[in-house]
Amino acid sequence: MLLWITFACLTAAVAALLILPLARGAEPVADSAEGEAAVYRDQLRELERDKGLGLIGDEEAEYARAEIGRRLIATADKDAKAETASVKRRGSLAVMGVTLVVPAVGLCLYLALGSPWLPAQPLAARLENPGNNIELLVAKAERHLAQNPQDGAGWDLLAPIYFRTQRLGDAEMAYRNAIRFLGDSPERLAGLGETLVAANDGIVIEDARTAFEAAIKLRPDDARVRFYLALALEQAGKNDEARVAFEALARDTPPGAPWLALVNEHIVKTGGTVSANDDTGAGRPPGNPTDEDVAAIGSMAASDRQAAIRGMVDTLAARLEEEPNNIEGWLRLVRSYAVLGDRQKAAEALNTGLKTFPASGNEGRQLVALGQEMGLSLTNSVGDNAAGEGAKP
């Protein structure tokens, strides 16, 4: 760093040497310039007086007038040159100030606020010891893959990191490369499908459905994959088939699983009902809908059901403002907004919940895991390892 400070000082010195000639003043003008002009004007008046008295002829008077006029013009030129030189000098001082003062002020600020005495940290050295810096870890992996593009393990490592950091295009490429070089696995296929869903605003497109179908063949009990396949049926307008798939998933889900509420909401949305055995009300945290609420929504017409769900969600949000110590309520609120397609409110609810339940605790890790699962942005200071995989379906 001292080397760069030395270069800055040398630059300022060279700039000063270059500007010095511009800062020099113009040649001094004789103080008698104005007096000379006054003398010449007096001579013109005397010439007119002598001509009127007949002391000088017309031809001699014309010659004398021309000579006095020439001298008067020469004096005026001196004044004009002096004014121009003064303007140039002021401009040169301004240029000198901008050229010298700005670098000098910048250097002083750096010395006062910066850290010029710290040792240099080249990128190569930082990549060798990235520590817990996730950005450097990713950069190191990317540099390795640029030199070894057929390293499937590297792509497999980067893919979920890309997904969590919302680099969805890179995540899709990494998952496809990992599958191409390492072969199919439930994790890679499910990750690819989930990435495609997130990149298409929650729509299970054909490529995503194909990936999920391949993943379910390798791991038939994967709740997350089963959920997305049921969601694909719902989005395709096959409500009866979707309801059957959601109900089967709810039956196979252990009590208290964090994704059970979301599954039950989709059961209701596709025209089904939720029994007390599916989502018991015992020990229900305040603000969550009762079994009667869920059953009432299930009996409504499709046109009224969405408005009723929206009303329940708004009521839950209002109650959580008054009683925020309700982790199940926050999980349900985030999922509900996601189901309604309002990802912005889902992200806001997620980050508001993290203010009550920090990511370092068990409840906070559930919120973080849910946010990562849904591809929501976390504005709180949350570590990459704050959430466990156990909270994901």
Residue type, 190: A
Report the C-alpha gap between 260 and 332 in whole angstroms. 10
Q: For position 282, what pLDDT does the model report?
A: 38
Report the C-alpha gap between 175 and 209 in whole angstroms. 15
What is the DSSP annotation of 20-61? HHHHSPPPPPPTTHHHHHHHHHHHHHHHHHHHHHTSS-HHHH
Beta carbons within 10 angstroms of residue 27's beta carbon: 8
- 142 contacts 158 by C-beta, under 8 angstroms: yes
Q: Which of 388, 366, 379, 163 is nearest to 261 (CA)?
A: 366
Q: What is the pLDDT along the chain (393 residues), one digit of tens a residue?
A: 565 567 667 776 776 666 666 555 444 444 556 677 677 677 778 777 777 777 777 777 777 777 777 776 777 666 666 656 555 555 555 666 656 666 677 667 766 666 665 555 554 555 455 556 678 778 888 888 999 999 999 999 999 999 988 899 999 999 999 999 999 999 999 999 999 999 999 999 999 999 999 999 999 989 899 999 999 999 999 999 999 999 999 988 877 677 888 899 999 999 888 754 444 443 344 444 554 555 555 555 544 555 666 777 888 888 888 888 888 888 888 888 877 778 888 889 989 989 989 888 888 888 888 888 777 877 644 544 443 443 344
Report the C-alpha gap between 320 and 327 in whole angstroms. 10
Sketch the domain layout of the chain as residue ranges.
2-113, 253-393
Residue 384's SS3 state is: coil
Tell me the two tokens of residue 192: 């690819």
Report the C-alpha gap between 241 and 247 in whole angstroms. 10
What is the DSSP annotation of 103-154? HHHHHHHHHHHS-TTSPP--HHHHHHS-TT-HHHHHHHHHHHHHH-TT-HHH
Q: For position 100, what pLDDT does the model report?
A: 63
Angle, alpha carbons 247-252-255 (nearest 5°): 100
What residues contact 294, with CB distance under 8 A and at least 6 apart? 264, 268, 273, 274, 279
The DSSP call for residue 286 is T
- 96 contacts 19 by C-beta, under 8 angstroms: yes
Give 288-297's long-range contacts (Cβ < 8 A, gap of 24+): 288/316, 288/326, 288/328, 288/329, 288/332, 289/316, 294/264, 294/268, 297/268
Residue 213, Cβ density class (10 Å: 0-12 exposed, 13-18 middle, ≥19 buried): middle
